[in-house]
Amino acid sequence: MLSFIGNRTPKTLHFDLLRRMCLRAEFVLALHEMPAQRLADVIESIGPAQIVPLAELVQRKKEGKRSFGSFAITVDDGVGYNVRALAQLFLARAWPATFYLPTQYLDTGEPMAFQWWRRLKPLLPPRKLKLKSGVLDLSRPGAVEALSRSMEQRWRRERPETYLPLISELADIVAQEIGVTRVKLRAPGPISWSEVAELSRNDLIRFESHGVSHAAMSALTEEEIVFEMGRSQRLIEEHTGRPCRHLCYPFGSRTSIGHLSPRIASRFYDSAVTMELGATHDADPWLLPRIPLYPENSLLFARMKILLTRGMSN
């Protein structure tokens, strides 16, 4: 049984093999809220793959050029503390990166539905709640988890007006229950437009569209999808002074994207990314897959995701 080669342990050998595999793929990383040091560890673990701007990766793809060993970094949602910390990392390491912004979040500071839910879920009282729509029984074992699964399905499939009133009412109940104002319950705020403008002065940092409202586009009419794409594009261009040519679909699953959005996206953007796992070189530019990474992913697990993507690209 092979237990070592020289000073190299089996774990080291596995990492070396995965590193070589990473050089045979081209891919886009999808990040949300991620500690900067954790991300630095992940990126360094998949070297020497080359980080390139998203626009460059997309352009190479459209020209039919292989970019094996190249990947782009993308970050969704525009959460203020997260953008600031990661932008500082990217600038310090000279790593190009793309941040996708939901413009209504930046305009109003009002949390998105899933952000509200993350704050409310652990604070919901385990009893029957009298709501305008009826009684919600959270006293039963597993009731909160069942409600959470239902809410997640709703915002990935339905129009915001079908679930936002319930979230708002639950926010009022929780605020009263723990004796705080709704403002105290809010999730971390967005990056400001002035910060976006300042960061945009550096060529390494790009801000692109995540729509206006972060609503599932499959639930919207064609006219509403055009508004989401066109308005967010214009706002970002106004604040950055740069073209906005790339879109990230809210939630990113085929269920949330629908059949109209990719066709409309091709009218506004050079690419549109999903949360589907895969490599980029054979993909539709307006249904580009990504590799989602999360803070809880180990370095080995992160590499295995990329290895899987490499296998899918062959």
CATH architecture assignment, domain 11-109+190-313: Alpha-Beta Barrel (3.20)
Coarse DSSP helix, strand, coil percentages of the chain, rounded to the nearest 5 percent: 50, 15, 30
Query: Which amino acid is located at 293 in the chain?
Result: L
Given this model, what pLDDT does residue 21 score? 45
Give the domain ranges of the chain: 11-109+190-313, 113-185
Given this model, what pLDDT does residue 251 score? 97
Identify which of 125, 29, 8 has the alpha carbon closest to the alpha carbon of residue 73. Answer: 29
Given this model, what pLDDT does residue 17 score? 43
Identify which of 301, 300, 270 has the alpha carbon closest to the alpha carbon of residue 286. Answer: 270
> In 10 A of CB 55, how many CB atoms?
18
Given this model, what pLDDT does residue 309 score? 62
Given this model, what pLDDT does residue 12 score? 43
Given this model, what pLDDT does residue 308 score? 65
The pLDDT averaged over each successive group of 10 residues in the chain (314 residues) is 34 44 73 94 82 94 80 97 98 98 97 95 95 93 96 96 95 92 88 98 98 98 98 98 98 97 98 92 92 84 68 50
> How many Cα atoms within 13 Å fall on the side-chain side of residue 67?
25
Strand segments, DSSP code E, in the chain are 26-31, 50-51, 70-76, 97-101, 128-131, 134-137, 205-209, 246-248, 271-277, 288-292
The reported pTM is: 0.90
Cis peptide preceding 243, ω within 30 of 0:
no
CA distance 11 to 34: 25
What Rg, from alpha-carbon coordinates, does the chain have?
A: 21
Given this model, what pLDDT does residue 299 score? 75
